[in-house]
């Protein structure tokens, strides 16, 4: 009798099958953008953020600070996508005028890579995002929306998959009670970003900002929480490490998805 293939080999084969079913009809092995941090990439299903897909990020609380953190998180991702594409351009569709461009520039999204589209309401933001995705030449499309219906989000996901452009959606809090990530969505990954206390410095001053980054849901993987440091001028996030030798630095429980 033949020896059974090892457990790991069987699990790997099963994962491949599931992945093939999920991205039915397309080439296996999605292109992905790794974070460059081992602890993060290990937990992501594609070893990074899938490029031709829709991703969502929302602030953890209705406070404006978390909203700014989520915006900077998506800005850093978009900046790295633009760099990966060469001279890529990012389209940012917004409905409110409180985004401050120098702040984005410090997260790596410099002004020559960014085009702003000011829209009147959420529907227009979604329409502009779809227009940008269907063009196919952008590096990423970022949109700030409140409530999104499932059908509209699915259209964005299909458009992103078709043309190979990444769609990043910033879900803003509309009312203090309703969690933006409460409703179902076809997004490949859903993140919740919150501010975390930064390192106490010996001298007066504010250290590098830290975020609590929670991967709330992802397709084909489990959720996780990390504490990461805010992106630098090259849009790279960093891991908050108590000491340099420890590998698994995640602070917080590892949740098992159902």
Partner 1 sequence: MRGTANLIMVEGQTAPEAPPPRSAVPLPIAFGDREDKEGSRLSHPSPHAPGFRPGARWARDEEIRSLAPLAAAQTPLVTAHRSGQRVTLAALSPEARSLGLVPGMALTQARMLVPGLDVRDADADRDAAFLARLGLFAARRWTPRAAVSGPDGLWLDLGGVTHLFGGERRMCERILGFCARLGFAGRIAVAGTLGAAHALVRFGGGAILSCPEGGEAEALAPLPLAALRLDEAPLAAARRLGLERIDELAAMPRGPLQRRFGPDLLARLDQALGRAGEPFDPIVPSDPPSVLLRFVEPIATAEAIAEAMAEALRRLVRLLEEAGLAVRGLDFVCERIDGAALAVRIGTARATRDPLHLLRLLSPKIETIEPGFGIERVRLVAWRVEPLGPQPFAGILAGEPAAADLVPLIDRLVGRLGVRRLYRMSAVESDVPERSVRRIAPLDRPAGWPSWPRPARLLSPPERIGDVLALLPDQPPRRFTWRGRSYRVRQADGPERIHGEWWKRSAEAETVRDYFQVEDETGHRFWLFRRGDGEDPRTGDLSWYLHGVFG
Q: Given candidates 19, 37, 41, 106, which one binds partner 1 under the rule CB under 8 A?
A: 106
Contact region for partner 1 (CB under 8 A) — 5-13, 19-27, 46-54, 192-200? 192-200
Residues of this chain, 127-146, that bind partner 1 according to CB under 8 A: 127-128, 131-132, 135-138
CA 115 to chain CA mean position, Å: 19
The yes or no reply on residue 147 touching partner 1 (CB under 8 A) is no
Contact region for partner 1 (CB under 8 A) — 8-16, 21-29, 39-47, 117-125? 117-125
Token output for 107: 């997260």
The contact mask relative to partner 1 for 1-40 (x = CB under 8 A, - = no) is ----------------------------------------
List the Cα angle 217/218/224 in 5-degree steps.
60
Residues of this chain, 46-75, that bind partner 1 according to CB under 8 A: 63-73, 75
The answer to whether 159 and 134 are in contact (CB under 8 A) is yes
Sign of CA dihedral 214, 108, 157, 182: positive
Can you tell me whether residue 113 is helix, strand or coil?
Answer: helix
Return d(Cα 258, Cα 239) in angstroms, integer.
28
The answer to whether 70 and 170 are in contact (CB under 8 A) is yes
Q: Write out the residues near partner 1 by the rule CB under 8 A.
A: 63-73, 75, 86-89, 91, 97-107, 110-112, 114-119, 124, 127-128, 131-132, 135-138, 194-198, 200-201, 204-207, 209-211, 230, 233
């Amino acid at each position: 009798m033949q020896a059974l293939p090892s457990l790991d080999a069987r699990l790997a084969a099963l994962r491949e099958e599931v992945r093939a079913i999920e991205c039915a009809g397309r080439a296996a092995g999605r292109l992905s953008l790794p974070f460059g941090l081992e602890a993060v990439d290990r937990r992501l299903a594609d070893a990074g953020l899938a490029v031709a897909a829709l991703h969502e990020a929302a602030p953890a609380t209705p406070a404006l600070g978390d909203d700014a953190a989520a915006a900077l998180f998506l800005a850093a991702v978009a900046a790295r996508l633009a760099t990966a594409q060469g001279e890529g351009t990012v389209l940012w569709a917004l409905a409110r005028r409180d985004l401050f461009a120098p702040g984005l520039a410090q997260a790596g999204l410099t002004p020559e890579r960014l085009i702003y589209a000011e829209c009147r309401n959420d529907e227009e933001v979604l329409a502009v995002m779809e227009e940008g995705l269907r063009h196919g030449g952008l590096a990423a499309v970022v949109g700030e929306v409140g409530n999104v219906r499932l059908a509209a989000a699915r259209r964005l996901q299909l458009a992103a998959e078709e043309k190979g452009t990444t769609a990043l959606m910033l879900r803003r809090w509309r009312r203090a009670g309703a969690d933006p990530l409460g409703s179902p969505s076809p997004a490949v990954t859903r993140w919740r970003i919150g501010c975390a206390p930064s390192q106490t410095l010996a001298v007066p001053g504010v250290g590098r900002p830290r975020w609590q980054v929670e991967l709330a849901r992802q397709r084909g993987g489990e959720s996780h929480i990390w504490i990461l440091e805010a992106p630098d001028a090259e849009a790279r996030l960093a891991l908050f490490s108590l000491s340099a030798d420890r590998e698994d630095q995640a602070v917080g429980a590892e949740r098992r998805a159902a």
